[in-house]
Amino acid sequence: MAYIDELREHYKHNGILSTSFTCKSRRACALVNTDSGPKSAFVGSKYGWGLPRLLFISLDAGWAEPCAAKRTPEAVRDELERVGAEKSAPNTHWYRTHELAHAILSQFDSSLRLKTITPHFAHTNASKCCPSGEKGGNASQVAYLNCHRYLKGEIEVLDPDVVVTQGRAAEVGIRALLADEAENPTDEFAAEELLCGRRRFLLRTDHPRYVKGFYKQREQSRCWAIYAEAIQRFYSTIPERH
């Protein structure tokens, strides 16, 4: 529970715990209809257990669960581990996230299957809130700019070895935290980066909803195999890996 407990404290300290929503940008985001209340990151119950710590950063939650208690770190974990990949329709964001997670992590444990991958990765959003009352709407640029400052704390808590951004707003938030030039690039989308104090593997993807860009990258990387192999090489060089 260490990750969950530390994440809860990070959110509470910054006013973005769903049950204690006192974010200093709340009023500004309300003016652009993006003050639905924050949703916690998802952290799988086996995140980092003998595998690289894999964190996805996407756009916004897409829909605001009205009950704040259902948006806490514990509630989000319970909900999404129950849903998994099997109950997600193919070609949806959540299904394709599972597919990429499986492609990466199965390099380290061949017994992993798509239906068993959910507990082994983490996923957060660049905007903690989403449009109020608009299921499937997009967060405003104001909300993304205000929320980017919370990403650093999430990365420090979750300490990922691999970060995958899904969409432009997520990439912009991470780019602001990079300290150096990329090393050992795999291609224009992936490289080793110095991020929040240590080297991590950063992979930039389009959001799966952007069909043209996402599926072109997926195809050209042999269904993510090129990146999975690069991550395996990278992980073998981390002195503090466990």
For residue 125, is pLDDT > 70? yes
For residue 105, is pLDDT > 70? yes
DSSP string covering the chain, please? Answer: -HHHHHHHHHHHHHTEETTEE--TTHHHHHTTT--S---PPEE-TTTTSSS--EEEEES--SS--S-GGGGSHHHHHHHHHHHTTTTSPTTSHHHHHHHHHHHHHTTT-TT--GGG-GGG-EEEESSSS--TT-TT----HHHHHHHGGGHHHHHHHH--SEEEEESHHHHHHHHTTB-S--EEEEETTEEEEEETTEEEEEEEE--TTSHHHHHHHHHHTTTTHHHHHHHHHHHTT-TT--
* Residue 133, pLDDT score: 61
Residue 91 in tokens: 């070609």
* Residue 240, pLDDT score: 66
CB–CB of 143/36 below 8 Å?
no
Q: Residue 13 is which amino acid?
A: H
* Residue 15, pLDDT score: 97
For residue 192, is pLDDT > 60? yes
* Residue 86, pLDDT score: 76
* Residue 83, pLDDT score: 87
CB–CB of 214/92 below 8 Å?
no
* Residue 136, pLDDT score: 53
| pLDDT digits 0-9 by tens, 127-172 | 999 887 655 567 899 999 999 999 999 999 999 999 999 999 999 9
| pLDDT digits 0-9 by tens, 3-30 | 999 999 999 999 999 999 999 999 999 9
| pLDDT digits 0-9 by tens, 194-242 | 999 999 999 999 999 999 999 999 999 999 999 999 999 999 998 765 5
| pLDDT digits 0-9 by tens, 41-51 | 999 999 999 99
- State the Cα–Cα distance between residues 130 and 29, nearest whole angstrom: 10
Burial class (CB in 10 A: 0-12, 13-18, 19+), 139: buried
Kindly report which listed range (35-39, 41-45, 178-182) carries the lowest average pLDDT score.
178-182
Strands 162-166 and 122-125: unpaired
Average pLDDT over the chain, rounded to whole?
A: 93
For residue 39, is pLDDT > 90? yes
* Residue 204, pLDDT score: 98
